[in-house]
């Protein structure tokens, strides 16, 4: 939540600077920065209060995003190591001896190992994006106008790294959006199966089981890369397996029980059905939100890319046709301004979506409940 708020402030201030809003106020007077920070050497003495405020948010992004990327990377590697240990401990059990509960647990391990592997890759992408913000921080103090820290070429290289790292993340946004819409559809099909009374234990997969129970096994969370095996890890796995067994026994037991037990079972399945129905519109909106994130970040990606292109193709008369096409025929200065402003604007809208979407998702859930009640 804090990252989204800081992102909103940072890019909103960048938009103010791009549009030169409130140009007659003190926020464009570098002397106020000197009064606040003391005498600064050239060219840092050109830093205006607006750039100073932006630099604070950029430094925050540098530290926060880098930490998030490294944490995601290391905890995901630790998670994979833990899953390997659990699988190795279960290898003594022959597959033909597995029950439906064993299969669900194994599917969960495979799914979470896949998630961990992807998060390792995402961590490798996120950490460099955070590090690249260091040069944006320096740029706000005009340090990139010198040869310190690599100067302007280093800033361009940092922006290039951000663009390269953002590209796979754009793909994941589309993939996640599609997955959420598919999950919504499958949940709807699962509700229809429950209503028809045709759901049996053999039809359950890890996806349907988790949707019905909200099961979150202990291996789902990340763990430090330095964490070794714990003594009760095997015991915890057995407890998770027992939970699955008990749930399946409650829903699909072939033993004849009393009328009271049957009513409790039916009431339990009705609760599950209602929970699934309420989740359908929320999951669908989450899918659409991922596509919205993709659109916003794609335009930001394209906008910031223009600045890199105009740096390497600074001679407008010698620019290839495809470069001119990418700039839509604008001059380098105009194309760079529109691209930079477009990126700042898109990354201003994105945190607004992040902050507002929980409210919209709750509203969608409440609207669905009200519709069912009516």
- The residues, any chain, with a CB within 8 Å of residue 23's CB and separated by 6 or more, are none
pLDDT surpassing 70 at residue 374: no
Q: What is the pTM of this model?
A: 0.89
- How far apart are alpha carbons 198 and 113 in whole angstroms? 31
In eight-state DSSP terms, residue 28 is G
pLDDT surpassing 90 at residue 265: no
The CA-atom distances, in angstroms, between 303 and each of 6, 211, 369 are 21, 39, 42
Give the pLDDT band of residue 359 (cuts 50, 70, 90): confident
Give the pLDDT band of residue 347 (cuts 50, 70, 90): very high
- How far apart are alpha carbons 326 and 221 in whole angstroms? 43
Cα-Cα-Cα-Cα dihedral sign, residues 319, 325, 327, 333: positive
Residue 366's pLDDT is 67
Q: How large is the C-alpha radius of gyration of the chain?
A: 27
Contact between 77 and 70 under an 8 Å Cβ cutoff? The reply is no
**Interval 241-251: pLDDT, tens:** 999 998 888 87
Cα-Cα-Cα-Cα dihedral sign, residues 23, 25, 26, 29: positive
In eight-state DSSP terms, residue 146 is S
**Interval 141-189: pLDDT, tens:** 999 999 899 999 999 999 999 999 999 999 999 999 999 999 999 999 8
Residue 175's pLDDT is 96
Mean pLDDT of the chain: 89
Give the pLDDT band of residue 310 (cuts 50, 70, 90): very high
User: Would you state the torsion angle of the CA atoms of residues 120, 224, 129, 65, taken in this order, to the nearest 10 degrees?
Assistant: 140
pLDDT surpassing 80 at residue 30: yes
- The residues, any chain, with a CB within 8 Å of residue 31's CB and separated by 6 or more, are none
- The residues, any chain, with a CB within 8 Å of residue 62's CB and separated by 6 or more, are 130, 131, 133, 134, 136, 137
SS (H, E, C) 284-331: HHHHHHHHHHHHHHHHHHHHHHHHHHHHHCCCHHHCCHHHHHHCCCCC
In eight-state DSSP terms, residue 147 is S
Contact between 46 and 142 under an 8 Å Cβ cutoff? The reply is yes
Residue 274's pLDDT is 86
């Amino acid at each position: 939540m804090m990252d989204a708020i800081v992102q909103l402030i940072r890019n909103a201030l960048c938009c103010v600077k791009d549009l030169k809003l409130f140009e007659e106020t003190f926020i464009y007077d570098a002397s106020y920065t000197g009064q606040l920070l003391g005498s600064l050497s050239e060219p840092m003495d050109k830093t205006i209060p607006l750039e100073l405020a932006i630099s604070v948010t950029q430094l925050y992004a540098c530290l926060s995003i880098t930490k998030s990327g490294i944490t995601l990377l290391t905890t995901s590697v630790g998670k994979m190591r833990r899953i390997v240990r659990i699988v190795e401990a279960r290898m003594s059990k022959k597959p033909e001896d597995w029950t439906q509960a064993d299969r669900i647990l194994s599917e969960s391990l495979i799914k979470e190992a896949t998630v961990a592997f992807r998060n390792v890759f995402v961590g490798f992408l996120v950490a460099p994006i955070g590090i690249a913000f260091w040069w944006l921080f320096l740029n706000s103090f005009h340090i990139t106008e010198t040869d310190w820290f690599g100067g302007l070429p280093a800033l361009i290289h940092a922006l290039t790294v951000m663009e390269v790292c953002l590209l796979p993340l754009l793909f994941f946004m589309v993939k996640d959006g599609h997955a959420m819409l598919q999950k919504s559809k499958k949940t709807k099909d699962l509700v229809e199966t429950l209503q028809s009374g045709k759901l049996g234990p053999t039809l359950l997969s890890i996806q349907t089981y988790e949707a019905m129970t909200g099961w979150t096994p202990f291996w789902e969370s990340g763990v430090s890369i330095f964490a070794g095996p714990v003594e009760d890890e095997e015991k915890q796995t057995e407890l998770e397996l027992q939970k699955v067994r008990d749930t399946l026994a409650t829903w699909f037991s072939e033993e004849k029980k009393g009328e009271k037990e049957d009513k409790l079972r039916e009431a339990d399945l009705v609760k599950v059905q209602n929970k699934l129905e309420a989740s359908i519109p929320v999951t669908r909106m989450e899918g659409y939100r991922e596509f919205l994130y993709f659109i916003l970040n794609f335009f930001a990606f394209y906008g910031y890319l223009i600045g890199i292109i105009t740096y390497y193709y600074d001679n407008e008369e010698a620019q290839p046709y495809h470069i001119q096409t990418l700039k839509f025929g604008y001059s380098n200065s105009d194309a760079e301004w529109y691209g930079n402003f477009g990126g700042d604007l898109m990354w201003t809208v994105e945190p607004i979506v992040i902050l507002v979407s929980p409210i919209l998702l709750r509203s969608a859930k409440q609207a669905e409940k009200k519709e069912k009640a009516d």
